[in-house]
Amino acid sequence: MSRASKGARLWLRPADRDESGNIKKAARWIILDGGKQIATGAADREEAEKALAVHLVGKHSPARTEQPLSAILITDVLKIYLEDRVPGQARPENAAERLIRLGEFFSGKTLNDITGKLCREYVAAREGKGRSNKGKGGSARRDLEDLRAAINHHHKEGYHREVVRVVLPAAGKARQRWLTRDEFAKLLWTCWRTREWQKVHHDGKEDGERKATDKRPLRHLCRLLLMGVYTGSRPGAIFSASWTDGDGRSHVDLTHKVFHRHAGGAIETNKRQPSVKLSSRLTAHLKRWKRLDKKAGENTGFVVRFNGAQATDFDTSIKRALKLANITGNVTAYSLRHTCASWLVQKGLPTRKIADFLGTSEQMIIRHYGHLAPDYQDEAAEMIGRK
């Protein structure tokens, strides 16, 4: 009886060394597929995964006929989902990365092999490797949700009839770190005034004195911080914010004082991004920024930039700013949205209006921020003491 194929997978070929232990050929990632070794030319895992994705897309087409679970490779199920559903998602490249990780772990296994124990083994293998874990198993849970979606799609298409259940780890507690007004003011001021320091060498000496330069390495964060808190927008909408309308850009309309958060040409998802009114204070900032950009001859059109290009990352620079401002806690770009919601609830604005402003549900506002309301449980606390 022939052995079942394990499907395409990555293998790190060890470095080739001579008798003295010196490296003649560095370690390289190889794609193993059906007894063949296909070079990726990649020395790091990330590039190898991209090469594997290209290989999988160009490989044979999985069977699209009804089969028993024991004959359906999980990698084939993932590829069908990759071809049918992923291209229509908002972030197809992220989904492809998750499917590749799943394919590597479940390589050679069939739908009949999926059990709770196997799913827990995947969680253990992924523990600590995700960039956005919300506690133990956070990244693995997102991956397994994709596996479940792929299997459900396979089932709906009629390629298998039996029920296959994917066991997910418990959902981690959502991060609710938000900034107080004092913290925000301190962070904003730190980003504005921080200057870059460099050593000045004299007479060929290596150890020169350190002097402040005119470079402001954190000043670009000021725009991100103000837009995040004053509009409660998701980081992606702020990074794509532009003075002009266009594909892939959210639009700052200063004429009508509106921020159109949904990027032009982007796919609509269940994470709603409705247009939001701009406050008078933020509008004043935006008008000044636009004048400065025009004077500087800036031509990218993006509101938040770094070194003349569209800013796409927040993590590295905000960590430095938080350290300089002596602010602790896990503050991310998403914390600005939490901050906006928290401040509005504290001001006593009705939760329905806050939900409409943020583009979310009123239930979510009540669940996560209701305890910050100035009259939180006042009526109940007073009622319990009455006769």
pLDDT digits (tens, 9 = 90+) for 10-50: 888 887 777 777 777 777 888 888 778 888 777 677 677 77
Q: What's the domain range around 117?
A: 60-156
Per-residue pLDDT at 274 exceeds 70: yes
Tell whether 142 and 187 lie within a shared domain.
no
CB count within 10 Å of CB 33 equals: 17
| DSSP-assigned beta bridge partners for residue 37 | 32
Per-residue pLDDT at 1 exceeds 60: no
What pLDDT is recorded for position 6?
63
219: in domain? yes
20: in domain? no
148: in domain? yes
176: in domain? no
CATH number at residue 298: 1.10.443.10
Range 122-134 average pLDDT = 69
Tell whether 136 and 236 lie within a shared domain.
no
Q: What is the pTM of this model?
A: 0.67
Tell whether 351 and 258 lie within a shared domain.
yes
Tell whether 107 and 216 lie within a shared domain.
no
What pLDDT is recorded for position 94?
82
Range 48-73 average pLDDT = 80
Tell whether 123 and 231 lie within a shared domain.
no
386: in domain? no
Residue 281 contacts residue 226 (beta carbons within 8 Å): no
Please state the domain count of the chain: 2
Residue 77 contacts residue 113 (beta carbons within 8 Å): no
What percentage of the chain reaches a pLDDT higher than 70?
A: 86
Tell whether 149 and 187 lie within a shared domain.
no
What pLDDT is recorded for position 269?
58
Of 227-231, 269-273, 369-373, where does the model show the most confidence?
227-231
282: in domain? yes
Per-residue pLDDT at 210 exceeds 50: yes
Across the chain, mean pLDDT equals 84
29: in domain? no
Tens-digit pLDDT profile for residues 149-165: 999 999 999 999 999 99
Tens-digit pLDDT profile for residues 303-329: 999 888 888 777 888 899 999 999 998
Per-residue pLDDT at 135 exceeds 50: no
Tens-digit pLDDT profile for residues 278-287: 999 999 999 9
Per-residue DSSP letters for 51-87? HHHHHHHHSPPPP-S---GGG-BHHHHHHHHHHHTGG
Tell whether 100 and 217 lie within a shared domain.
no
What pLDDT is recorded for position 134?
44
18: in domain? no
Hunting for tokens 């005034």 — which residue is that? 193
